[in-house]
Amino acid sequence: MWVRELSLENFRNFENLQVELSQGVNIVYGDNANGKTNFIEAIYFCATGRSQRANNGRELVRFGQLEAHVQVIIEDGKCRSIDAHLFRDGKKKGIAIDHIPIKKLNQLFGMLLVVIFTPEDLRIVKAGPVERRAFMDMELCQLSNVYYHALRQYHHALKQRNNLLKTIAKSKDSTLMDTLFIWDAPLCEYGLKIMEHRAAFIEQTGQIARDIHSSMTGAGEELNLTYRPQVTDPSQYEERLKRNTTRDIALGSTSVGVHKDDMGFAINGNDTRIYGSQGQQRTAALSAKLAAIEAIKSRTGRMPILLLDDVLSELDEKRQGFLLNHIKGLQTILTCTGVEDVLKKAEAEKIMKMENGNIYANISSNGNISRKEALK
């Protein structure tokens, strides 16, 4: 699987752009605020139907324009296409596969498998549980339509239950408490399914991450990933919900469930979030991301696309070398500010310079521009 072509129209700072990509490592370099992250974001959006940094599609439409269009052409045994239309006026985004509109987002997941790695991901160990849940959810949604459905149904029930809790608190109508079971049932049903998938994913990914981390540290450290569900005994899920009813009404939100889950990182038995150095935290995060690639490959038999957004500048020489050696065989889109240092370590098949929303192809592989061809 690889992205052969990316086309953008009025997406972020791009007016009109069409770029052919190589099957190996593609480097996009240039100064900050020229569109490198937007380039990565467009591919990620076509794979997941969402942005890794924007809350809604309106933010992705170029300033002064009413709509945007993104298209990727994929080679995966045969040529496939994914088209996305975004609208500034709040109209629902439209996504089509091979020019046939899809009705549900789960029809998109798995069409284009991606793993994205940003400087923010390097801080996943130190960050809060929200980021770690997002890591589990995004990889699992790509791997399982069952998981995506369960997650969507769970959050729908959670929203409705929270609304009911607020109504009870505001109206002081105790009879409404008898209707909470309507939403407790789906929270338990789908919550248990989510827990099962998350536990299996962390077990598989943890084994791979342990080996990767050991190689990266010369067998000097042992990394363990653990799933930390808030409800440790699944048989008590419904009981925990009922026990916290009074508290939930006071808070206006549900305090028990998989929306409170976390995952743990431990090096040599010590909690890396608390006791790990910055270098250890980054190595652990890198190991987890690389393990996600192997997990996707193992479960699907297909290699995902790797999106590296200015990550190398955040890693030391040793970790840079390990990452670049590990991604051989993957189509990689790598962004950076300076290309010379990267070229000493990466075997790039295509080098492009980003400048003011335009991309220029670099035919040379030695870092010197031998010919610039505007691809606008």
pLDDT per residue over 12-39, tens digit each?
Answer: 999 999 999 999 999 999 999 899 999 9
Q: Do 98 and 140 fall within a single domain?
A: no
Task: Determine the structural domain holding residue 13 and report its residue range.
Answer: 1-113+302-376
Number of folded domains that form the chain = 2
Q: What is the pLDDT of residue 366?
A: 44
- Judged by DSSP in three states, 221 sits in coil
Taking the whole predicted model, whether its pTM rises above 0.85 is answered as yes
| The domain boundary residue, chosen from 301, 330, 353 | 301
Average pLDDT over the chain reads 91
> The CATH number of the domain where 241 resides is what?
1.20.1050.90
Q: Do 314 and 257 fall within a single domain?
A: no
Q: Do 147 and 228 fall within a single domain?
A: yes
| The domain boundary residue, chosen from 301, 323, 358 | 301
Residue closest to 7 by CA, chosen among 55, 58, 69? 69
The arithmetic mean of pLDDT across residues 352-376, rounded, is 60
363 band by pLDDT with thresholds 50, 70 and 90: very low
Residue closest to 27 by CA, chosen among 356, 370, 374, 341? 341
| DSSP at 161 | H
- pLDDT 10s digits, 225-274: 999 999 999 999 999 999 999 999 999 999 999 999 999 999 999 999 99
Residue closest to 313 by CA, chosen among 117, 59, 164? 117
Q: What is the pLDDT of residue 165?
A: 95
Q: What is the pLDDT of residue 372?
A: 41
Q: For residue 96, count CB atoms less than 10 angstroms from its CB and return exposed for 0-12, middle for 13-18, buried for 19 or more.
A: middle
Q: What sections of the chain are H helices per DSSP?
A: 36-48, 129-143, 145-171, 181-216, 237-243, 245-251, 272-275, 278-300, 317-326, 339-343
- Judged by DSSP in three states, 75 sits in strand
Q: At 266, phi and psi to the nearest 5?
A: -130, 130
Q: What is the pLDDT of residue 12?
A: 95
- The answer to whether residue 119 sits within a structural domain is no
- The DSSP code sequence of 27-63 is EEE--TTSSHHHHHHHHHHHHHSS-SS-SSGGGGBPT
